[in-house]
Amino acid sequence: EDQVTQSPEALRLQEGESSSLNCSYTVSGLRGLFWYRQDPGKGPEFLFTLYSAGEEKEKERLKATLTKKESFLHITAPKPEDSATYLCAVTSGTYKYIFGTGTRLKVLA
């Protein structure tokens, strides 16, 4: 059964304190892994798509990496505006996304 597990569930960081969020997955034939940011009361905002092991993508203070079993979202020198829930999803060649339960990130000034 396809499954996505995100850790930690919640993370509190001081401004400038870099860290990583983890997304472990089990899927029969990964077609894509997706990272989204979701602010309270809003729809998920697309961040990255990763297709194959070894791939990396960057956007401002965020960097996503992919291995055959997991993905990391690295946050470098975070700011309070980076506070949000970060969601990971995978798809195995069909339209259906399997979402993790997310990591709630709080960055303190």
Q: Where on the chain is the footprint of another protein (CB under 8 A)?
A: 31-32, 34, 36, 41-46, 49, 87, 89, 91, 93-97, 99-102
Judge whether 103 and 85 are in contact, CB under 8 Å. yes
CB 61 → another protein: shortest distance, Å? 20
Judge whether 44 and 36 are in contact, CB under 8 Å. yes
CB 43 → another protein: shortest distance, Å? 4
**Cα–Cα distance measured from residue 76 to residue 66, given in angstroms and rounded to the nearest whole number:** 17
Closer CB to another protein, 23 or 107, in the complex: 23
Closer CB to another protein, 27 or 76, in the complex: 27
Half-sphere exposure of 28 (CA within 13 A, CB side): 4
